[in-house]
Amino acid sequence: MLVYILKRVLATIPVMLIVAVFVFLLLRLTPGDPAAILAGDAATPAQLERIRDRLGLNDPLLTQFFTWMGQLLRGDLGVSLLSNTSVAGMLGDRLGPTLNIALMTITISVLLAVPMGVIAAWRHRTWVDFLVMSFSVLGFSVPVFVIGYILIQIFAIELRWVPVQGYKAPSEGFGAFFSRAILPSLTLATIYVALIARMTRASMLEVLGEDYIRTARAKGVRENVVLFRHALRNAAVPILTIIGTGFALLISGVVVTESVFNIPGIGRLTVDAILARDYPVIQAMILLTAGIYVFVNLLVDVSYSFFDPRIRY
């Protein structure tokens, strides 16, 4: 098992390397002079030369690459062109809110969606199943910002249960964090509840038709035990896959929600960086997103063998 995990960790290195090469080339090979892009329209030739020098653009491509990789491995992601502060530091500040919201969203989604899916499968083709599936279609089709504004209207403006916008870290008090994080998390959760519930239902429907479920019933096992002990674990692999992918998507896809709820996370950082053509920040964002995807996939793969003993590597 340990050997397997080690192998999987080692296997992520080439993937990350390819991403790094891509990110490096993104800036160097885009048409036009990177320095000109970086400096903007109003730059003087002297300014351009200074930027070229600072970025090492006068060196051969390979030298540039190794310099850049060297910096990357030391955790140096460069300096933001906009704020002139370290990109690594900026990301560090912004990652906290995004991660916390993402974790809360995925927790809410799993807690709601898995029981929903299980019950829908158990009561296949009844009104319960129909209700869950209708909700699922709704969750898919209503845009995130609409749900966000509706939730704000009801819970923040009408009922005044929670603040409209803003973010407080959990370290500043869980209540303060929770009351501000709950609406954005619920907003984001709708689509994931829909997705996970659907996957759980489909996977459970298949498993509930298996012989060992009949065996469990034949030995007089209670129905909830049949569902959650016998069936759900067997149905787990596709559900885990969708949860893992969902979590990774969440972190890279929080742009709209962070704008609506005014949360200082990486989503807004990305938007700002793109609008300002802040290339070092954009590069760092791509690297970070790819890293999160690779890491979450690794986690999901390793967790399979925990749920299904037949999976051995």
Partner 1 sequence: MQFKNKDFSNAREVLNVRNLRIGLTGRPQAQPVIDGIDLTIRAGETHCLVGESGSGKSVTSLAAMGLLPKSALEVQSGSIMLDDFEITSASHSQMRQLRARRIAMIFQEPMTALNPVLRVGEQIMEVLNMHSDLSQSEAKKRTLDMMDQVHLPDVNRIFSAFPHQLSGGQRQRIMIAMALILDPDLLIADEPTTALDVTTQLQILKLIAEMQERHGTAVLFITHDMGVVAEIADTVTVMQQGQIVERAPIAELLTNPQKEYTRTLLTAVPNLTPRPARPAAAQSEVVRVAGLDMTYGGGGFLRRSEGVKAAQDVSFTIKPGRTLGIVGESGSGKSTVARAIMRLIDPTAGSVNVAGTEIAQLSRRQLRDHRKHLQIVFQDPYRSLNPRWTVARSLCEGPINFGVPRAEAMRHAAELMELVDLPRDALDRYPHQFSGGQRQRIAIARAVAMKPDLLVADEAVSALDVSVQAQVLDLLDDIQERFGVAMLFITHDLRVAAQICDEVLVMQRGVVVEYGPAGEVLANPRHDYTRNLIEAAPGRHWDFANYRALDSAAMTTGATA
Q: Is residue 54 close enough to count as binding partner 1 by CB under 8 A?
A: no
Restricting to residues 184-213, name those near partner 1 by CB under 8 A.
Answer: 210-212
Q: Is residue 310 close enough to count as binding partner 1 by CB under 8 A?
A: yes
Q: Out of 152, 230, 247, 279, name the contact with partner 1 by CB under 8 A.
A: 230
Q: Is 243:196 a contact under the CB 8 Å cutoff? A: yes
- Closer by beta carbon to partner 1, 74 or else 125: 125
123-142 mask for partner 1 (x: CB under 8 A)? -xx-----------------
232-251 mask for partner 1 (x: CB under 8 A)? -xx-----------------
Q: Out of 214, 224, 238, 262, name the contact with partner 1 by CB under 8 A.
A: 214
Task: Collect contacts of 202-206 with beta carbons under 8 A, ≥24 apart.
Answer: 202/121, 202/238, 203/117, 203/235, 203/236, 203/237, 203/238, 203/239, 204/117, 204/118, 204/121, 204/122, 204/231, 204/232, 204/235, 205/121, 205/124, 206/235
What number of CA atoms fall less than 13 Å from residue 65's CA on the CB side?
15
Q: Out of 48, 79, 221, 299, name the contact with partner 1 by CB under 8 A.
A: 221
Q: Which residues of 255-268 are buried (b: 16+ CB within 10 A; e: fewer)?
A: bbbbebbebebbbb
- Closer by beta carbon to partner 1, 215 or else 262: 215
Q: Is residue 7 close enough to count as binding partner 1 by CB under 8 A?
A: no
Q: Is residue 10 close enough to count as binding partner 1 by CB under 8 A?
A: no
Give CA–CA dist 39/295, Å, rounded: 35
# chain residues binding partner 1, by CB under 8 A:
24
Q: What is the DSSP string of 71-82?
A: HHHTT---B-TT
What is the contact surface with partner 1 in residues (CB under 8 A)?
A: 124-125, 210-212, 214-223, 225, 229-230, 233-234, 307-310
